[in-house]
Amino acid sequence: MNLKRFLIIAILLLAASNANAVLNIDITEGVEGAMPIAVVPFQWSGSTKLADADVSTIVTSDLARSGKFSPLPVKDMLAHPVTPEQIDFKTWRIAGIDNLVIGGVQLQKDGSYQVQFRLFDVLKAQQVMGYSFPADRQSLRYVAHRISDYIIEQLTGLGPAFDSRIAYVTSRRVAKNKIEYRLQVADTDGFDPQTLLTSSQPMMSPVWSPDSLKIAYVSFERGRAEIYVHNIRSGQREKVAAYEGINGSPAWSPDGRQLALTLSKDGNPEIYVLNLQDKKLTRITSHWSIDTEAVWMPDGRSLVFTSSRSGKPQLYQVELAGGRPKRLTYEGDYNANASISPDGKAIAFVHGDDSGFRIAVMYPDTRLLQVLTDGGQDESPEFAPNGSMILYATQINGRGVLAAVSTDGRHKQRLVLSDGEVREPSWASVKGSRN
């Protein structure tokens, strides 16, 4: 690409059976040098194309959203090959396409579907990958996201991210003095939003368990902050913390057996670790200042948290085995709310200065800090499960929306709720999310 491309991908999302507002995704800033790829519209046989499960369109959107690819618009394609024999590699080469995806969706006699795709290296004129997946009406979209994850992994080495789900909190003013809060779960492209909890009181800090089967969150539904663990399959939930004072900032240990959380039951916000099996509580920090927003390092041996012990909020790291917390951030008066990359090498956080609050990323090895966003009220950063981008909450004209930025800051997209405001995103790991 010789010019920075501004892609606007409007994904028409069919509302689910319930009246949930949907998230619409706009890619606001593309990337110079993203890999050119063509995803030829898949051929449907035995059935007409299902508008809400248009597999090749979903794959195209995911590839664009990854920030690593620049998919060729369908209208610019000179041919629509379906079989390998139909591919004229020379034409695609001339069109500047490096990689080509073809495929089809077949309705089976029993009403299920068979989805197959092939990925070709245009320069070498050979297939590099090809799969066939069984699917039903419901799982066609998941298969599409899985195809995206396969292609991205094959061509970039990045792990899977799209065949997963996100959780977030929405708020909507339903009367002058009444706000309705919802805890929702949707596919990573905003499709099929499901409501886990509706409340007239605030909900905060939803976070997926490592096996993607549960969500821990804070709810004020009973007039004070309490932490719940909600099983998304059964809908059952368990109250795990309702101590006097703050019950906040839940964070799952990598093995899913413990929750780090913030309690002020001893008079001051401190970080504790709760064993979810025996409910044993271990106090981790002990300082008269604010200690909160703990997250786990991937090895499960230490926590990164926000502390005002220097007078201003800064990030610190503490070993669970004991020892003094080590300060991680020095640049600026406000560094808070850390998210750790899956490989543990990068920390994203809220970085505040005179010009506002932005998402920054720091590599503790080098202490190099890079500000990635340019909003004024950016918060709640969360790494995608493959570490390639950071989902966060921002404001547009005073309205809360979600946004994502690639870890190099070059690719940006927005997820805007069709009605009301949205915040506090959490991105489930791919493992188990569809079981």
Partner 1 sequence: MKKIVLVGMLLLLAACTDQAVRDDGAVDAGAGSETGGAQASGINDTAGIEGTALAGKNYRVSYEIGAINDPGNILSQKIIYFDFDSSELQPEYAELVKYHGKYLALNSAAKIRLEGHTDERGSREYNIALADRRAQAVKRLLLFEGVNSKQISIISYGEEKPADFGHDEQAWRLNRRVEIIYE
Q: How far is the CB of 396 from partner 1 (least distance, A)?
A: 11
To which residue do tokens 């990323």 refer? Answer: 361
Closer Cβ to partner 1, 7 or 405, answer by number: 405
Piece of 7-15, 48-56, 87-95, 285-293 that binds partner 1 (CB under 8 A): 285-293
Q: How far is the CB of 298 from partner 1 (least distance, A)?
A: 21
Does position 248 interact with partner 1 (CB under 8 A)? The reply is yes
Q: Are 391 and 166 in contact (CB under 8 A)?
A: yes
Q: How far apart are CA 228 and CA 207, in angstroms?
A: 11
Tell me the two tokens of residue 379: 């918060």
Q: How far is the CB of 380 from partner 1 (least distance, A)?
A: 7
- How far apart are alpha carbons 381 and 340 in whole angstroms? 10
How many residues are listed for the chain in this entry? Answer: 435
Using CB under 8 A, which residues numbered 315 to 374 contact partner 1?
Answer: 334, 336-337, 350, 352, 357
Task: Specify the residue, 129 or 240, whose C-beta has the smaller distance to partner 1.
Answer: 240
CA pair distance 28, 39, nearest whole angstrom: 21
Q: How far is the CB of 354 from partner 1 (least distance, A)?
A: 12
CB nearer partner 1, residue 78 or residue 174: 174
Give least dist CB 382 to partner 1, A.
12
CB of 247 to partner 1, least distance (A): 9
- Establish if 428 lies at the interface with partner 1 (CB under 8 A): no
Place of tokens 């004024």: 376
Q: Please tell me whether residue 377 binds partner 1 under the rule CB under 8 A.
A: yes
Q: Specify the residue, 61 or 306, whose C-beta has the smaller distance to partner 1.
A: 306
**Whose Cβ is closer to partner 1: residue 301's or residue 399's?**
399
Is 154 or 201 the residue whose CB approaches partner 1 more closely? 201
Which one, of 230, 217, 193, lies nearest residue 420 by Cα?
193
Task: Select 188 or 314, whichever has its Cβ closest to partner 1.
Answer: 314
* Residues facing 263 on adjacent strands: 247, 270
Please pick, from the candidates 302, 379, 388, 416, the single residue that binds partner 1 as defined by CB under 8 A.
Answer: 379
Provide the edge-to-edge strand list for the sheet that holds 270-275: 247-252, 258-263, 270-275, 281-283
Contacting range for partner 1; rule: CB under 8 A; set: 27-35, 70-78, 306-314, 410-418: 306-314
Which of the residues 61 through 120 are near partner 1 (CB under 8 A)? none
Sheet holding 165-175, edge to edge: 194-199, 178-187, 165-175, 421-427
Residue labelled with tokens 């490989």: 343
Least separation, in Å, of the C-beta of 361 and partner 1?
15
- In 3D space, the residue among 144, 155, 96 whose CA is nearest the CA of residue 120 turns out to be 155
Which run of H or E residues covers position 144? Answer: helix 140-156
Q: Is 290 in the site for partner 1 (CB under 8 A)?
A: yes
**# residues contacting partner 1 (CB under 8 A):** 42
Among 71, 313, 325, 385, binds partner 1 (CB under 8 A): 313
How far is Cα of residue 372 from the mean position of the Cα atoms in its chain? Answer: 16
The residue from 83, 108, 198, 200 that contacts partner 1 (CB under 8 A) is 200
| Binding positions for partner 1, 151-180, rule CB under 8 A | 176-179
Rounded to whole angstroms, the Cα distance separating 102 from 100 reads: 7
Query: Measured from the CB of residue 377, what is the shortest distance to partner 1 in angstroms?
Result: 6
Q: Which of residues 260-279 bind partner 1 (CB under 8 A)?
A: 262, 264, 267-269
243 belongs to the binding site for partner 1 (CB under 8 A):
no
Considering only the stretches 18-26, 120-128, 157-165, 243-251, report the one whose residues sit in contact with partner 1 under the rule CB under 8 A.
Answer: 243-251
Nearest CA-CA partner of 263 in 279, 237, 282, 276? 282
Which contacts qualify for 342-348: CB closer than 8 Å, 24 or more apart? 342/159, 342/298, 342/383, 342/385, 342/386, 342/387, 343/298, 343/387, 344/297, 344/298, 344/299, 346/383, 346/387, 346/407, 347/304, 347/315, 348/372, 348/381, 348/382, 348/383, 348/390, 348/392, 348/407
Are the C-beta atoms of 301 and 318 separated by less than 8 Å? Answer: no
Binding of residue 199 to partner 1 (CB under 8 A): no
Binding residue for partner 1 (CB under 8 A) from 36, 130, 159, 202? Answer: 202
Of the candidate spans 130-138, 274-282, 318-326, 377-385, the one that interacts with partner 1 by CB under 8 A turns out to be 377-385
Give contact residues for partner 1 (rule: CB under 8 A): 176-179, 200-202, 204-205, 220, 223-225, 245-246, 248-249, 262, 264, 267-269, 290-293, 306, 312-313, 334, 336-337, 350, 352, 357, 377, 379-380, 395, 398, 423-424
